[in-house]
Amino acid sequence: MCHGPAALVPIKLSNGDALIKGKRLTAFTNDEEEAAQLTAAMPFSLENKLVELGAKFEKKDVWQEYIVRDGRLITGQNFASANAIALEFVKVIKEITG
């Protein structure tokens, strides 16, 4: 959620592709960085980096609740998505455990 998907940036598959290549996801957006006046404080634009690595970045308007699930990858756009992402994690755990 939020900037959490930054942890996925350096992960590569055995063929050298980014783990997130072709995956649908979301994260803190460029517009939210601007609205929070954090753009200059960030080492890179997370939205741009995820797209650069081949992710299918999805987003809603600034500060809107939004989650994206692609298989077991669950991401939330911002802090407003906390409840929705937690509920989706519970759903996935129930699917896995039967």
Check whether domain 4-97 has CATH 3.40.50.880, yes or no:
yes
Q: What DSSP element (H or E) covers 80?
A: none
Average pLDDT over the chain reads 96
Q: Are 94 and 13 in contact (CB under 8 A)?
A: no
What's at 4, amino acid-wise? G
Whole-prediction pTM: 0.92
How big is the CA angle at 23 (ends 21 and 24), to the nearest 5 degrees? 140
> Which class for 14: exposed (0-12), middle (13-18), buried (19 or more C-beta within 10 A)?
exposed
Q: pLDDT (tens digit, 9 = 90+) per residue, 42-57?
A: 999 999 999 999 999 9
What phi and psi values does residue 73 have, to the nearest 5 degrees? -85, 115
